[in-house]
Structure 1
Amino acid sequence: MSNMKRSNGTSPLARAVALAAAVTSLAWGQQALAGPTERAQARRMYERLTGTPPSEGLLTQLEDMIEDSGLTATAHFIIDPGQLHSRNFYSVTLKNFAAPWTNRDQSVFAPLNDYTATVIGLVKDDADFRQVLFDDVVYIGTGVTPYSPTSNAHYEALESNNVDLRTLQRTAQSSLNGLPSSATAGVITSRAGAEAFFIDGTNRAMFRFTMLNHLCRDMEQIADITKPPDRIRQDVTRSPGGDSSVFNNNCIGCHSVMDSMAQAFAYYDFDETLGRLVYTPGQVQPKYLINQDNFKPGYVTPNDAWENRMRLPGRNDVNVLGWADLPGSGNGAKSMGQELAYSGAFAQCQAEKVFRKVCFRSPASTQEATAVEDIAERFTNGGGSLRTVFAETAAFCASPQP
């Protein structure tokens, strides 16, 4: 037996057993490291929030922060505008997030404009994001061509000069576009919003795209043919193609809701020649009175008084969109914007859009859908912080869900 031992007293058999154990241990260790470690979570959150990989030093810092403070706190750190590494979140991620809302084609390739800049600025300042649909607010830059209500040159200069969008400054919209503060309504009355959705047409586009972009509902999803038709304008024929059943079983569903809400925009238009939003208080824009011979007994718009017909009893649940304790009617774009912004659907829509942006897909399970609902509820009850929605969503999607 003695001649089978090495000088260290370990037999070949013992060494073989130890080697096998070491190989097994290594295999199990490699399998464990392939799971969602803090380092992998940190990398995933940073890349999805900023679109770029972190440096090794920053990655180690984020990894330590996850261990010490948790995923959500680390995500907040990643998008903190006071941190050097957060620039791409505001100048790239948020710009691409909001750009499709500014045009009818819903293209992400739209140039930077006052609509997109206002979205970025509200997140940067961690303001109540619900202001986006009703406040007297616009965000502008410095050091380039000044803001103009007749062109987008200011924002094109910011973009072409690669200006850090974290430097955007909050300004009263009314001080720049000539509207009274009471007539401003966030991005609804931004120059870019007006150019896209008030130009030509009948101003119904502004209501439709505001619902689509901020409540995640298109007209077919809120249509209800049981709602009263008395606010439907004259330009909508009651017998499309000579068949009144088409109107009664289809058209009425959208227009009864849309026309009563879009009346809030009766004094707005975009003048293509001047290149600017125009506002005519007390004077209904001619576009509201076009094609009156299509149905003479139809509604003639007298002012900018709107009413939310979605609150009325009908085929749909009267509170399916989670309406807040507000009057449900009013005058002008500002009060109508508040009606939409304080709805449960607005909060849910923000959470859903952020989930798709950060997680690269829609919620795919009951657990994920519940997480989105919880984030939306905290948005509503926590002051409307869209920055927090981004942080909480990034934290949730940092690790694979069971």
Structure 2
Amino acid sequence: MTARNRIRSRLTKACSTAVLFAFVLGQTGFVQAGPREQAKRIHDRIAGVPPSADVLDDMENDIVSGRAIEAAFTAMQDRAFYDVTLKNFAAPWTNEAMSKFVPLNDYIATVIGLVRDGQDFRRVLYDDVLYIGNPSLNLPNYSTSNNNHYESLENSGASLRDHLERVNQSTYTGLPPSATAGVITSRASARAFFSAGTNRAMFRFTLINHMCNDLEQVADVTLPPDRIRQDVSRSPGGDSRVFLNNCVGCHTGMDPMAQAFAYYDYEYNANADPDGELGRLVYNAIGETDPETGSRVQAKYHINAATFE
């Protein structure tokens, strides 16, 4: 690693922790508390559980010495930070209802693993990465058609801090390495955002979850509409002004970006398995042809194609 990259890494680490510590510091009455009370508040807020006496002593000493950031990092070593705080942090990203009351899955585990390992968090959206439970736990094997591995890991009570192992996603999912994209191509993400529809959900919820904006905040009616798909009417209700002044705003950005997912789908039996619990992510690799489209593109991309041929 070059000197510049080392400095950048340290600054990123310091800045992210400073934001976290500023959040803790902003609690009412915090600045009036003594060092020991401050240390306990930091630990309670970050880990969600009280610290042991030894940990509290270490954090108090850090605060007295002017190293409050180090105290925050100490709190982040508690297993509850990974088992609860980070799980609840990432869980809403894995479903359209944005609920945190969902079982552990490959999306959540990968987020937790990347944070634990201090990786560049941008990898969550592009890397050939997956975190699974350590084989020593004798869990069910990772499967592309169910979530048993992660539910068993969660039910085992094993610490996610100590028992997550990084592997190549392509090795376990069968996707070519070039077709992996971090949590976007995780099974949990595919079930939530690639199932049914036209794959636009994947773009929208990635925008919400990782860019902190919804479509309305990035809409732009001045962009050309030539990449908008065929299933969008150019004259909704017979009035082209609605399309030009409203629909264009979202679709000019969303539709070209959603082309990135044209070879992906989430297959499941809608009759026997309406929630897609046993479905799997599928991908048309080079040389594969979808029987309905006659190309690599998934059939869902031709839904309502006659609306604007």
Pick the TM interval, shorter chain: 0.7 to 0.9
Q: Helix, strand or coil for the counterpart of 2:72?
A: helix
* Equivalent position amino acid for 1:160 in 2: N
Q: Distance in 2 between matches of 1:295 and 1:240?
A: 11
Q: Does 1:106 align with 2:119?
A: no
1:38 paired residue number: 35
Q: Helix, strand or coil for the counterpart of 1:269?
A: strand
- Give 1:27-66 correspondences, 5 Å limit: 35-66=32-63
- Cα distance, 1:57 vs. partner? 4.1
Q: Helix, strand or coil for the counterpart of 2:32?
A: coil
- Cα distance, 1:237 vs. partner? 0.7
* Equivalent position amino acid for 1:97 in 2: F
* Equivalent position amino acid for 2:33 in 1: P
Q: Helix, strand or coil for the counterpart of 1:186?
A: coil
- Cα distance, 1:68 vs. partner? 2.6
Q: Distance in 2 between matches of 1:57 and 1:131?
A: 35
Q: Helix, strand or coil for the counterpart of 2:232?
A: coil
1:254 paired residue number: 250
* Equivalent position amino acid for 1:248 in 2: L
- Cα distance, 1:135 vs. partner? 0.2
Provide structure 1 residue ranges, at least 5 long, that are not aligned to the other structure. Answer: 1-31, 81-85, 297-402
Q: 2:279 aligns with which of 256, 275, 279?
A: 275
- Cα distance, 1:110 vs. partner? 1.3
Q: Is the 8 A contact 2:220 2:248 kept in 1?
A: yes
1:75 paired residue number: 72
- Cα distance, 1:40 vs. partner? 2.0
Q: 1:191 aligns with which of 182, 187, 193?
A: 187
Q: Distance in 2 between matches of 1:224 and 1:34?
A: 44
Q: Does 1:132 align with 2:124?
A: yes
Q: Distance in 1 between matches of 2:185 and 2:198?
A: 16
TM-score after normalising by structure 2: 0.81
- Give 1:244-393 correspondences, 5 Å limit: 244-273=240-269, 275-282=279-286, 283-296=296-309
Q: Does 1:87 align with 2:79?
A: yes
Q: Distance in 1 between matches of 2:154 and 2:69?
A: 31
- Cα distance, 1:160 vs. partner? 1.2
Q: Distance in 2 between matches of 1:175 and 1:56?
A: 44
Q: Does 1:212 align with 2:208?
A: yes
* Equivalent position amino acid for 1:131 in 2: R
Q: Distance in 2 between matches of 1:36 and 1:149?
A: 50
Q: Distance in 2 between matches of 1:169 and 1:68?
A: 36
- Cα distance, 1:69 vs. partner? 5.2
Distance change in 2, residues 1:189/1:33 (3 Å): closer
- Cα distance, 1:239 vs. partner? 1.5
Q: 1:147 aligns with which of 134, 142, 145?
A: 142
Q: Helix, strand or coil for the counterpart of 1:188?
A: coil
* Equivalent position amino acid for 1:155 in 2: Y
Q: Distance in 2 between matches of 1:229 and 1:110?
A: 38
- Cα distance, 1:131 vs. partner? 0.3
Q: Distance in 1 between matches of 2:45 and 2:237?
A: 50
Q: Helix, strand or coil for the counterpart of 2:213?
A: coil
Q: Distance in 1 between matches of 2:150 and 2:169?
A: 15
1:387 paired residue number: none
Q: Helix, strand or coil for the counterpart of 1:221?
A: helix
Higher RCO (C-alpha under 8 Å, 6+ residues apart): 1
Provide structure 2 residue ranges, at least 5 long, that are not aligned to the other structure. Answer: 1-28, 270-277, 287-295
- Cα distance, 1:174 vs. partner? 0.3
Q: Helix, strand or coil for the counterpart of 2:131?
A: strand
* Equivalent position amino acid for 1:293 in 2: A
Q: Distance in 1 between matches of 2:71 and 2:141?
A: 37
Q: Helix, strand or coil for the counterpart of 2:103?
A: coil
- Cα distance, 1:59 vs. partner? 2.0
Q: Distance in 1 between matches of 2:41 and 2:30?
A: 15
* Equivalent position amino acid for 1:277 in 2: L
- Cα distance, 1:34 vs. partner? 8.6
Q: Distance in 1 between matches of 2:54 and 2:179?
A: 50
Q: Helix, strand or coil for the counterpart of 2:282?
A: strand
2:114 paired residue number: 122
Q: Distance in 2 between matches of 1:160 and 1:279?
A: 31
Q: Distance in 2 between matches of 1:261 and 1:34?
A: 46
1:267-311: CA deviations, max 9, x gaps?
000011361100002400111111012111xxxxxxxxxxxxxxx
Percent sequence identity over matched residues? 59
Q: Does 1:221 align with 2:234?
A: no
